[in-house]
Amino acid sequence: MACVCRALCIYLILAHATAASSAAVNNISVYWGQNADEGSLEKACGTGRYAMVIMAFLSVFGSGQTPALNFAGHCDPSAGGCAGLRDHIIACQSMGVKVLLSLGGGRGSYGFSSSSDAKGVATYLWDTFLGGSGDTSLRPFGEAVLDGIDLAIASNSSQSHYDDLAHNLTSLYNGDKSGRYLLTAAPWCLYPDASLGPALTTGLFDHVWVQFYNNPSCQYNPRNESILRSAWDQWAQALPSANYGGITLWSRYYDEASGYSVKLTGKADPPSGSLIPGGSGNAPPRKKMIIIYIVAGTSGLFGVCVILLTILLWYKKRHGMMPWHRGSRNVPRLESFLQRQETSHPKRYTYSQVKRMTKSFAHELGRGGYGSVFRGNTPDGREVAVKMLKDTDGDGEEFMNEVASISRTSHVNIVTLLGFCLQGSKRALVYEYMPNGSLDRYTFGNNSEGDQNLSWDMLFDIVVGIARGLEYLHNGCNTPIVHFDIKPQNILLDQDFSPKISDFGLAKLCRQKQSKISIAGMRGTVGYIAPEVFNRSYGAVSSKSDVYGYGMVVLEMVGARKQIDVSTDSSSKYFPQWLYENLDQFCGATTCEINSGTTELVRKMIIVGLWCIQFRPTDRPSMSKVLDMLESNTVDLQMPPN
């Protein structure tokens, strides 16, 4: 679930003119941890404007993965660097502000393989962040105890077993005499939520903050207010004891930039170095009631217009432009970039043409950290996937990366960019349509009903195709390209299940024969990021960083295709480590379902995957060497060092 709440984000335009607005002022919650420039957690609480602050996110959990936090540069969880948040959490709670941990987000790796898997994660959350029996020295926040768990599950995540998580957490909560712990959720406004639908029907959630934005079919539309009203009524009728209770803001960073909660409460940030004692003291009491947040009801069109006009005039005075002009200030820079590309970039479309292609964005295929993807058709009838970029406040780096890198490619295993749109703050990329979606649908049990279960032979062909695509990017282009975000979600499958590498928003163009790459900060997705990308002590950043992500994808495919339980401890260990120690056992067990020739393919995939995820880049093979290994006899392959 990506942060698209720009400045005023106008999902809060509908504000109740009387009693409801008072409730909104008293009950404002905010997500913190998605931008390193949003200020500290303690500072957010010290404003006195928030009843709850939700730390975002625990972005890796379930399916045997080691849970991992991602607070966007505020601290480094992998090195125990988040212990300093202990004092911030305790300070927030002393001000009367509740602090929760949110699970999920738009860029992560999570999901449950079974009910017992969900139960194990519930126990982990209880012992690690709440009132459990875990060793405080092993907790990321030390002895600080959070006030609850929030579920912000992306809509492309499987909905399986989140109800089991809710049941198990509630059971643990009920065993505690303090009664302090909350269970909350942030579903998308399209009802029922694709991920949390079954969980919300349990009635176990204390608060639900519905995201009435980022989805044209149910978000606020100034030309058709009934769209939001209809969605609002559907949620209010579906949830038990639903009542309007306040406002939840998706980003502390954008709230600070827009000053929206300041306008609601009249409370500006305290002077630097000072905090407001006592905080808001308005945290809603824990009771079995669903509170729908984000957008209030309206008492009439006149009140809406007055509030909107006031906000827009204040915004223009502060920022020197209207909200819809933000991002357009970078258009000259982007236009200059496109001119430098000369004829290398594809066809240019207007925004109205993009809307016609997608029938006003009627069919959403999915969403990610940089935008939503919609299905459409070009005027000549060709099926396309249109990616609408939403980071219009930025400098256009993602847009330029995508156009500059992919326009230089022409390969059967690289997705084709057919066109783009740059009009004011509107930016879109038009790709060829991939009918079988992403590889993510066929990994970690994400297959939905009707999805084809890929055979080992098909998986091996996909592994080879991805390798050919990466080898082309590293060595076959006139300008070598390092992708930096190889993961199942970025591998698309055409009608024949041939893989195509997509999403070049984080890509880096390299000079010829450049062995080392200079990058600012960390880039990629947790679980697939090479060690040297976040810690240079492991080695230099280079094309070998893509090799690591590729190896993780290969081993993930192997783990997902495994249909039999070959060991009772295979699900509790780090899967690549378990494969390294039990290769013969794994391959021997699979011979009952496949022939000996295919078993050799499986062995080859595992050995190649293990070579690719060596910690030091110098120990990993190049993609050219990977192709040689995949095309060689299995008996000639040696196991890598552990």
**Catalytic residue ranges:** 485
User: 544 φ, ψ to 5°?
Assistant: -65, -20
Query: Quick check: 141 and 129 in contact, CB under 8 A?
Result: yes
Cβ neighbors of 278 (< 8 A, separation 6 or more) are 48, 95, 96
For residue 94, the number of C-alpha atoms closer than 13 Å in the C-beta half-sphere is: 12
Burial of 12 (0-12, 13-18, 19+ CB in 10 A): buried
200/203 Cα distance (integer angstroms): 6
Rounded-to-integer distance, Cα 149 and Cα 54, Å:
9
SS (H, E, C) 187-225: CECCCCCCCCHHHHCCCCCCEECCECCCCCCCCCCCCCC
Assess contact for 482 and 505: CB atoms under 8 A.
no
Separation CA 189–CA 525 (nearest Å): 26
* CA separation, residue 510 to residues 23, 89, 289, 480, 481 (Å): 54, 43, 55, 5, 6
- What is the Cα gyration radius of the chain? 25
Residue that has been written with the tokens 């909905």 in this structure: 159
Q: How many residues does the chain have?
A: 642
| CB-based contacts of 601, cutoff 8 Å, min separation 6 | 456, 457, 460
In the chain, count of helices (H) and strands (E)?
Answer: 20, 21
Burial 29-66 (b: 16+ CB within 10 A, else e): bbbbbbbeebbebbbbbbbbbbbbbbbbbbbbbbbbbe
